[in-house]
Amino acid sequence: MLIAIDIGNSRIKAGKFENEKLTEIFYFGDMTDALTFLKTALEPMAHQPLAETNDIAISSVVPGKTKIISDEVYKIAGKSPFIIQNRGIKTNLTISYKTPATLGIDRLCSAEGAFFLFKNSGKYKSYNTTTFILSIDFGTATTINVIEYPGKFIGGLIAPGLELMFESLKKNTAQLPEVNISDYKSIIGNDTNTSIASGVVASVVGMIEKTINYLKKKKSAKDMFVCLTGGNAKKIIPHLNFDFICEEGLVLYGINALYKLNKI
């Protein structure tokens, strides 16, 4: 069994994989809960031969938390976890990115997860140059990652997440109130609260739609395989008007795919 751990800016997510299937997902708001989970999962195997213990793979955008969890895994299981890095790692995708050293591991894993799900979908049979795969992560930041045939990561977009947009308007203006997405009523707000909510929603949805339209017009895209994930995904889904799948464990699937490819 593999335990995949996704360490994000706002929370930590863990998933258990058995025979390529994601069987459970766990969410942790703080480090204490995450460490308690690891102890529960790993301590029963602490005295078994290393070959028989669970494997741990980590994707992280917070180096300090990575070290804490990595040290805890070694302390309990007697072996270090597999930590995904963007240097020296084999990928299932061809990375066509001008600054690969700065490519966020979360984005790489999100794209790898989307590519894995696509290859295991019915659409893979008709995969061709007019098919594009998008992974969209609605987290602390909203990121869009684009994969073109035959599995080439060509880049994407990074923007503030929903909460960051709302918080920025509240923090950096003198008179605008604190608002959230529940204040959204329609594309044209008729008071200050609804106008702010409309602006934020339109910014996020418009960014995605502009990306899709660009791929259709400039890249001759005819078919899109769009995967959504992240803590804010369910908040924005009601405002989307295109086909997609929503997979909470998208990054975890990417971690699993990269671990399989790189494990010794």
* Tens digits of residue pLDDT in 244-263: 999 999 999 999 999 999 98
Mean local confidence (pLDDT), 223-244: 96
**Is pLDDT of 53 > 60?**
no
**Is pLDDT of 51 > 60?**
no
Residues 107 and 97: beta-carbon distance below 8 Å? no
Catalytic residue among 106, 137, 183, 191: 106
Res. 30 pLDDT band, cuts 50 70 90 = confident
pLDDT at residue number 52: 47
Mean local confidence (pLDDT), 2-15: 92
Kindly report the backbone phi and psi dihedral angles of residue 241, in degrees, each rounded to the nearest multiple of 5, phi listed first. -125, 40
Q: What is the 3-state secondary structure (H, E, C) of the chain?
A: CEEEEEECCCCEEEEEEECCEEEEEEEECCHHHHHHHHHHHHHHHCCCCHHHCCEEEEEECCHHHHHHHHHHHHHHHCCCCEECCCCCCCCCCEECCCCHHHCCHHHHHHHHHHHHHHHCCHHHHHCCCCEEEEEEEECCEEEEEEEECCCEEEEEEEEECHHHHHHHHHHHCCCCCCCCHHHCCCCCCCCHHHHHHHHHHHHHHHHHHHHHHHHHHHCCCCEEEEEEECCCHHHHHHHCCCCCEECCCHHHHHHHHHHHHHCC
Note the maximum CA span of the chain.
Answer: 65
Structure tokens given for 205: 């949805």
Sheet with 152-160: list strands edge to edge.
Answer: 94-95, 152-160, 141-148, 131-138, 223-229, 245-246
Res. 10 pLDDT band, cuts 50 70 90 = confident
Mean local confidence (pLDDT), 206-216: 98
Provide the angle, in degrees to the nearest 10, between the axes of the packed helices 192-218 and 162-172: 130
Mean local confidence (pLDDT), 49-53: 48
CA distance 226 to 68: 34
**Is pLDDT of 187 > 90?**
yes
Percentage of the chain with pLDDT > 90?
A: 80
Mean local confidence (pLDDT), 6-14: 91
Mean local confidence (pLDDT), 141-153: 97
Pick 186 or 88 by higher pLDDT: 186
Q: Can 223 be counted among the known catalytic residues?
A: no
**Count of beta carbons in the 10 Å neighbourhood of residue 115:** 25
Q: Model's pTM, two decimal places? A: 0.93
- Tens of pLDDT, residue by residue over 68-89, are 999 998 888 888 899 998 888 9
pLDDT at residue number 3: 92
Provide the angle, in degrees to the nearest 10, between the axes of the packed helices 31-42 and 63-77: 20
Query: Domains of the chain (ranges plus CATH)?
Result: 2-83 (3.30.420.40), 94-254 (3.30.420.40)
Structure tokens given for 68: 């804490």
Specify the residue for token string 């990074």.
Answer: 158
pLDDT at residue number 47: 54
Mean of all residue pLDDT scores within the chain: 92
pLDDT at residue number 45: 60
Residues 147 and 111: beta-carbon distance below 8 Å? yes
Mean local confidence (pLDDT), 156-175: 95
**Is pLDDT of 264 > 90?**
no
Choice among 23-37, 101-115, 148-162, 197-211 with the minimum mean pLDDT: 23-37
CA distance 139 to 15: 18
- The length of the chain, given as a count of residues: 264
pLDDT at residue number 23: 94
Mean local confidence (pLDDT), 24-37: 91
